[in-house]
Structure 1
Amino acid sequence: MTTTLDRATPADIADLRQLYYAVYGPHYPTALGTDPAEMSRLIADPHTLWLVARCTRTGGLAGSAAVHGEPGSRIGRLEGLAVHPEHRAGGLAGALTDELCRRTLGEGRLDSVYATVRTVSAGPQRVVSRNGFRPMGVLPNAVDLSSRESLALYARHSPGVLDRRVPVPEVPAPLVPLLRTAERTLGVDYAHTRATAPLAAPGAPPAGRLEMIEAPGFVRRRFHERFPDAGQWFYPLHTPNALLVADDGRFEVYAYLNRTGRYCALVAAHPGPAAAADYLEPITRTLTRAGTGYVEALLPLAQHGLLSAFLAQGFIPSALYPAMRPETDGDGFHDYVVMTRTAEQIDFRGVVVDAPLQPYLDAYVSAWAATYLPTLEVAP
């Protein structure tokens, strides 16, 4: 079968929904493959490149993938990679991924593109690996499809970006296994980064009520009023749809809550992350009560105090994203780390990891054990 790669058009939306249903069934958790209004918006979005593979004989859709960006950012997210079951083994996934990277990274539009890849088989990992993506970590229990699944984080950088990383003087010691893994697999250098003890956990926050507001339009408008500069967000490419606020107004936490996939990303905090750091436990508890089984935050590797606060509340350093964001007043790039916490039992028996990803799984298991398993002492 021969195919051509074209930009997706609004006329493709019905066929795209059928494609994603054929690949993922009724549980696909993103609007890109299920919501016609959002799909139409993304197709028209100048910061999103959405390609489809068309059968030259029938005109039907054999595959689809997109790189999604946003104004003011040079990071892209590879998403929606799907090949119809009848057209697999023909290299379509690789062809779509390669063409998207050629048109974004290759033309200098973006500094890096990342992808979260399923771990139910090694195939998706090998597709992105063959197209220049390298593993950055494992995100256990990250999404609920037909069952709870773990994902892997991969990224590909434009030439020269990784060479312009801003040095990090120190990190909390529990992050060291992840950094050492990145040194071995990515060739980045943390030789001059000191490992120091995490800062002491804060005391219990003053009693008070934490309110959660789920009003996507209101949350989005308020968020953009508070954070006109995308550089203040924890997490790019995530528009918050939920707001957690202390009843005395001392802080606001903006989150992207996906009810279908039962996961949440913490996007930003006002007036700053430190204001909410003491409240991570009630924040996470509130999100768990709302049905979230997994919470993540993308934090600057250089912010020792903020990382310590997340570590104190049971978050695990799960993935590293070196050279993720450019300096605001220089030509260097800052490293970030993904901190995750799951409220559900982790079961790695169904996880399939390709060899390059295995060290990250080992680092996660080590970090989880150090956090949640007691140190046993033998009495003399």
Structure 2
Amino acid sequence: MKHLIIRQATVADAVGIRDIFIETYGRDYPYSEMYDVRWLQRALADDAMLVLVAELRGRLVGTGWVFLGSGPFCDLIGEFGRLVVTPDMRRHGIGTRLFEARVTLTQPILHFGFVQARTVHPFAQRISEKCGFAPVGFLPSKSQFARRESLAVMVRLFGPARTLRRPRPRLTPEILPLARAALRNLHLSEDDIIVERETKGYHVDRAYSLEEWSEMRLPDLVELARDCNKPRRVYSRIPINYRIFRLHAAEAIYLLAKQGDALHGALGFVYDPGGRVLRIIELIGRNDGVIGFLLEMLNRFMAERLDVAYAEIIVSAYNPVLQRTMLDHGFFPVAYYPAYVMRSVERLDAVRLAKLRAPLEGGFELIPSVDDIYDIVLRNMEAAAIADRGQ
């Protein structure tokens, strides 16, 4: 289009971006902050976000975002999201131009980029694939729009990510089919995977009592993190010291395992009551039994205290014991992330597992490469449901 301009957004564009979402979704977009002009102004001034807009004769007709990490813990990961074009301007290539511009601008500063594309239509999937992203996962019924929707996870590796990737992931058999498909889609070798067939999960030691986070526990939690958090069990893109000091702002909850007054373990999670999504962001303990105890308590917490439709965790692809533990607690593999996180001078693979506590809504429109991943995740979900009924 002759007069279309793709540019980086400024704080002055906050109202125009809000109007794009209103025109496209009404008031049904699940991330309500996109309707909050003050929040948008803060986001547009934040170095951890790249926001582009498409402008046609002074009117904003599209936007695309990249959520970047910040500081030394960002792992050079970027989430490509919020790609929206107003209904009257679709099918003019605006979405593709916004996506291509995002890739061009972020390619020098990223190693790992990912998209969580909607599956009620194939447009975001097609654009992502056209821009070099390949499917590595399928998140069943994760998002709440007018109804629950599933998301296709698509990844592109940038720069030296392939060279820095640590080989020989150690995986349980249940994760193997998804890992192989993801590696093939990203043109990475699957020959060096080590399959851990006899691995057992962490046992449950019930010799602890449970306590929820309180400010008085801050020194103990910091000490526990210092003593027990290497190597990381859970990947959440936010360092624990930042999470601890931003608990209230991030609406995080920590479950603490203790014996007497001594703190032995902690499980942190973020819960979105609107979307009914729970994400585990931390899991630390002084021994294996306390990890099993905390996960058992989380299952009880979800059943009795929270209305959770979808829970998830991202764990190391080199820790089959934790993988098996999550499988034993009803989680199943939904995505495999090659070269996901940076540790020292190498990038580590990760496994995303989920627990679905809501019906799987249908009505998918999937491109062929995503359909293959969906079939694998559906089998994983059905196997988890069968195992749960057998307990």
Matches for 1:26-175 after TM superposition, within 5 Å? 26-30=27-31, 33-55=34-56, 57=57, 59-71=58-70, 72=72, 73=74, 74-105=76-107, 108-175=108-175
Identify which of 235, 258, 264 aligns with 2:278: 264
Instruction: Report deviation, 1:260.
Output: 2.1
1:340 pairs with 350, 354, 357, which one? 354
What corresponds to 2:6 in structure 1? 5
Helix, strand or coil: the match of 2:152? strand
Residue 351 (structure 1) aligns with: 364
Q: Provide the secondary structure at the position in 2 that maps to 1:251.
A: strand
The one of 283, 286, 289 aligned to 2:301: 286
Distance in structure 2 (CA, Å) of the matches to 1:138 and 1:198:
27
Deviation at 1:197, TM superposition (A): 2.4
Per the alignment, do residues 212 and 352 of structure 1 end up closer, same or farther by CA in structure 2, a change over 3 Å counting? farther
* Distance in structure 1 (CA, Å) of the matches to 2:217 and 2:143: 23
Cα distance change on mapping 1:89 and 1:127 into 2, 3 Å: same
Distance 1:320 1:293, change over 3 A: same
SS at match of 1:80: strand
For residues 224 and 150 of structure 1, do their structure 2 counterparts lie closer, same or farther at Cα, with a shift above 3 Å needed?
farther
2:169–2:349 Cα contact (<8 Å) kept: no
Q: Does 1:371 align with 2:384?
A: yes
Residue segments in structure 2 that go unaligned for 5+ positions in a row: 244-249
1:323 to 339, 352, 355: 339
Deviations 1:87-129 (A, max 9, x none): 1001111111111111111xx2111211111100111100111
Q: Which moved more, 1:69-78 or 1:202-211?
A: 202-211
For residue 190 of structure 1, what is the aligned residue in structure 2?
190
| 1:378 aligned partner | none
| Amino acid across the alignment from 1:343 | R
- Partners in 2 of 1:226 and 1:143 — Cα distance? 34
Residue 313 (1) aligns with residue 329 (2) = yes
Q: What is the deviation of 1:82? A: 0.7
Distance 1:225 1:37 in 2: 37
**Amino acid in the other structure paired with 2:332:** I
Query: Which TM-score applies when normalising by structure 1?
Result: 0.86
State how far apart, in whole Å, the 2-side matches of 1:180 and 1:363 are.
11
Letter of the structure 1 residue corresponding to residue 186 of structure 2: L
Q: Distance in 2 between matches of 1:223 and 1:265?
A: 19
Q: Is the 8 A contact 1:63 1:81 kept in 2?
A: yes
Q: SS of 1:190's equivalent?
A: coil
Letter of the structure 2 residue corresponding to residue 36 of structure 1: V
TM-score, normalization: structure 2?
0.84
Unaligned ranges ≥5, structure 1: 376-380
Aligned 8 A contact 1:219 1:243 in 2: no
Question: What is the aligned partner in structure 2 of residue 360 from structure 1?
Answer: 373
Structure 1 counterpart of 2:318:
302
Of 69-78 and 245-254, the range deviating more from structure 2: 245-254
From the superposition, tell whether residues 4 and 371 of structure 1 become closer, same or farther in structure 2 (CA, over 3 Å).
same
Q: Residue 66 of structure 1 contacts residue 80 of structure 1 at CA under 8 Å; is this kept in 2? A: yes
Instruction: Give the superposition deviation at 1:64.
Output: 0.7
TM-aligned CA distance change 1:259 to 1:224, over 3 Å: farther
SS in 1 for 2:109: coil
Deviation, 1:235, is: 1.4
Change (3 A) 1:237 1:40: farther
Query: Is the 1:31–1:39 Cα contact (8 Å) retained in structure 2?
Result: no
1:326 Cα offset (Å): 2.2
Does structure 1 retain, via aligned residues, the 8 Å contact 2:315–2:352?
yes
1:276 matched to which residue of 2?
Answer: 291
| Contact 1:284 1:295 (8 Å CA) reproduced | no
Tell me, in whole angstroms, the C-alpha distance in 1 between the residues paired with 2:86 and 2:286.
45
3-state SS of the aligned residue for 2:271? strand
> Secondary structure of 2:30's partner?
coil
Aligned-residue offset at 1:374: 6.2
Structure 1 window deviating more from structure 2 (144-153 vs 238-247): it is 238-247
Structure 1 counterpart SS, 2:171: strand
Between stretches 259-268 and 282-291, larger displacement belongs to 282-291
Counterpart contact for 1:47–1:69, Cα < 8 Å: yes
Cα deviation, residue 17, structure 1: 1.6
Distance 1:366 1:93 in 2: 33
Q: 1:28 to 1:208 in 2, by over 3 A?
A: farther
Distance 1:201 1:38 in 2: 43
Preserved CA contact (<8 Å) 1:210 1:244: no
Question: Cα distance, 1:277 vs. partner?
Answer: 3.7
Deviations along 1:165-199, whole A, 9 cap, x unmatched?
21125311111111221243222222122322263
